[in-house]
Amino acid sequence: MEENMDFMKEAVKEAYEGINEKHGGPFGSVIVKDGKIVGRGHNQVLLNHDPTCHGEMMAIRDACKKLGSHDLSDCSIYTTAAPCPMCKGAILWANISKIYYGCTIEDTDSIGFRDEKFYESWNEGNDGNYGEETGREECLKLFSDYSKMQHDLY
């Protein structure tokens, strides 16, 4: 579809902006709602010294700010590479309905990024290597106190 290619070209432009400014890797994204770009972002890991500043994350932050909402239902994301697990999680949390990506995980791996390692870790159930339950009773009390409060779920 030609419209999809136009949005992907905008994601590629974002990526070029980032690599030309040495902000990070070749990852750019745009978020689209009702045929209009509502969020843009490119990898800024090096610029911000922050490993969470992937292109998708930056585009989500931009779209949420512009729309005044944490809920990006009815939005699509166009991104230059298949999202890593962190970004895919953020996309799901934001309720983005469709992901369009250019390069595959294998393509990303071929230029030196290690996304595959994270997918393997999740698929093999290696969470035990990094996490250990502690302070559960205190945290359960926190959750109980929160449940008793009047609040909006997101």
CA dihedral 5, 43, 101, 35 (to 10 degrees): -50
Structure tokens at 130: 């990094």
Active-site annotation holder among 2, 56, 137, 138: 56
| Residue, of 75 and 128, whose pLDDT is higher | 75
User: Rounded distance, CA 30 to CA 78, Å?
Assistant: 5
Average pLDDT of 32-37?
A: 98
133 is catalytic: no
User: Rounded distance, CA 58 to CA 74, Å?
Assistant: 18
- What is the pLDDT, as a whole number, of residue 127? 54
Digit-coded pLDDT (tens) for 109-136: 888 887 766 666 656 655 555 566 778 8
Question: pTM of the entire structure?
Answer: 0.86
